[in-house]
Amino acid sequence: MGRTTGIIIAAAAAIVVLAGVLLFMLGRGSEKEVNQLDQELSDMQLPAAGDATPAPEAVPSNGRSLVVVSWGGAYTKSQIEAYHKPFAAETGTKINSVDYNGGIAQIKAQVESGNVTWDVVDMELADAQRACDEGLLEPVDAGTLPAAPDGTPALQDFIPNGITKCAVTSIVFSHVVAYDDTKYEIQKPTKLADFFDLKTFPGKRGLRKQSPKINLELALRADGVPGDQLYQQLSTKEGVDRAFKKLDTIKDNVVWWETGAQPPQLLADGEVTMTTAYNGRIFDAQVMEGQPFVIIWDGQLQELDVFGIVKGTKNFDLATQFVAFATDTQRLADQAQWIAYGPARKSSLPLVGKHAMKGVDMKPNMPNAPENSTNAVQIDFLWWADHEEELNQRWNAWLAK
């Protein structure tokens, strides 16, 4: 393929991605006007495409190690089985798995000190965007990502927002409310608003502590704000005040959690009767441990988890190879056999089968299954990249009251 042809294809692919992102965000009712969105997305540097950089070949790592950081528990186990073990077998790379609680503070400290010890980090998309804006992640070259089995380029095979300037999406996960079925013998919670109804459904509530993200959205959705008006409301002082006022109604009954493994444990120990949680963690407790937990899909907040490569890693070539390997069609489908998170590639969905150990059909348990996502909203990562710092300050002040 000639260089001119490659440039044309790259430009066309970039236009397709830009248009897709714009239509996606407008379609879900973002508060930004068309011109503002168009300018914001025009300013966002897209990853390279076409034949500018050939995909890296799978080559031996000569015994090197790679530090891959993720969230621990059932989620990291799914990655170890689907990504780490096959990659190690193919390349001879030793993968050291490290757990963290999210955010970009640790990445920033490593990059700014020049002492980078992490290579690849599994991140929430809004955090990845902030880290990218601050120069903490290496840019993504879409040319390093394999095409779908039918030849569809990666840029077209990933879901909207699946490839950004510094990140490649692996899964769609969901923030949901779950409860212990044994605690409510007569009337069962069925909707998000029931989480805030302490009179009808008494008991302690579990909420994620380290960020206002998710908590503010859930509070407004439970207070009756439609999904297509959510970020319009949060963009006003009145909307933010309304969210905190709703959270005030349960604050005295909250048990705070910080890691993904805590919500199912809080339910199992009887410390809470209802909690917010990652849907995959609740599924794992249900299927692997036989816990009597029930997910309320109403009002779920869907989010993308992505891989970012830390700026300044000494293993950039190996990290790039790992991200390409882990986000190919088959690997993403393989991960869905271990945990109920949806693969980020369209070509992966038909390959999702039963749970690797329990034989449970995985498709109905995924957040993006049609029957589960009728009232779902995807978290606006661009909005949070712009507003998280200011809202973190108010969140921390509210927690301290």
Give the confidence band of 59 by pLDDT, cuts at 50, 70, 90.
Answer: low
* Among the listed residues 388, 384, 382, 387, the one whose alpha carbon sits nearest the alpha carbon of residue 37: 382
Percentage, residues of the chain above pLDDT 70: 85
The predicted pLDDT at position 310 comes to 98
Tokens of 399: 């927690």
Residues 137 and 134: their CA atoms lie apart, in Å, by 8
CA distance 66 to 340: 26
Give the ranges where 235-278 is alpha helix by DSSP (H).
Answer: 237-248, 262-268
Task: Note the helical H segments in 28-67.
Answer: 34-43
pLDDT at 58: 57
- Tokens describing residue 292: 């009597």
With 0.85 as the threshold, say if the pTM is over it: no
Domain 174-302+379-400 has CATH 3.40.190.10: yes
What does residue 286 show for φ and ψ, rounded to 5 degrees?
Answer: -65, -50
What one-letter code names the amino acid at 106?
Q
Q: Name the average pLDDT for the chain.
A: 87
Give the integer Cα–Cα distance in Å for 157 and 213. Answer: 28
**At 278, which amino acid appears?**
Y
Per-residue model confidence (pLDDT) at position 61 = 60
- Measure the CA–CA gap between 163 and 139, rounded to whole angstroms: 11
pLDDT of residue 381: 85
Residue 22 pLDDT greater than 70, yes or no? no
- Which residues, in sequence order, are CB contacts of 84 under 8 Å at separation 6+? 68, 95, 97
The arithmetic mean of pLDDT across residues 15-28, rounded, is 38
Where does 344-397 show beta strands of DSSP type E? 377-378
pLDDT tens digits along 233-261: 999 999 999 999 999 999 999 999 999 89
CA atoms of 160 and 44, how far apart (whole Å): 15
- Residue 166 pLDDT greater than 50, yes or no: yes
Nearest-angstrom CA–CA distance, 3 and 92:
35
Cα–Cα distance measured from residue 154 to residue 40, given in angstroms and rounded to the nearest whole number: 23
- 44-53: average pLDDT: 42
CA-nearest of 102, 101, 165 to 134 is 165
Mean local confidence (pLDDT), 174-180:
97
Q: What is the DSSP string of 168-210?
A: EEEEEEEEEEEEEGGG-SSS---SGGGGG-TTTS-S-EEEE-S
Least confident interval from 21-35, 52-66, 99-113, 310-324: 21-35
Could you tell me how many helices (H) and strands (E) the chain has, helices first?
A: 15, 10
> How far is Cα of residue 170 from the mean position of the Cα atoms in its chain?
8
Greatest alpha-carbon span in the chain: 70
The CATH superfamily label for domain 57-172+304-371 reads Periplasmic binding protein-like II (3.40.190.10)
What are the structure tokens assigned to 330, written together? 């088959």
Smallest CA-to-CA distance from 86 within 350, 325, 324 is with 325
CA angle 45, 390, 383 (to 5 degrees): 40
Cβ partners under 8 Å of residue 242, min gap 6:
219, 220, 223, 225, 233
DSSP string over 225-236: --GGGHHHHHTS
How do residues 88-110 score in pLDDT, each as one tens digit? 999 999 999 999 989 999 999 99
Residues 6+ positions from 126 with CB-CB distance below 8 Å? 213, 379, 381, 384, 385, 388
Alpha-carbon span 8 to 379, nearest angstrom: 33
How much of the chain exceeds pLDDT 90, in percent?
Answer: 74
- For the chain, give every residue range classified as CATH 3.40.190.10: 57-172+304-371, 174-302+379-400
Mean pLDDT of 258-276: 96
- What amino acid is encoded at 298 in this protein? D
Please tell me the predicted confidence (pLDDT) of residue 5: 39
* Start-to-end Cα distance in the chain: 63
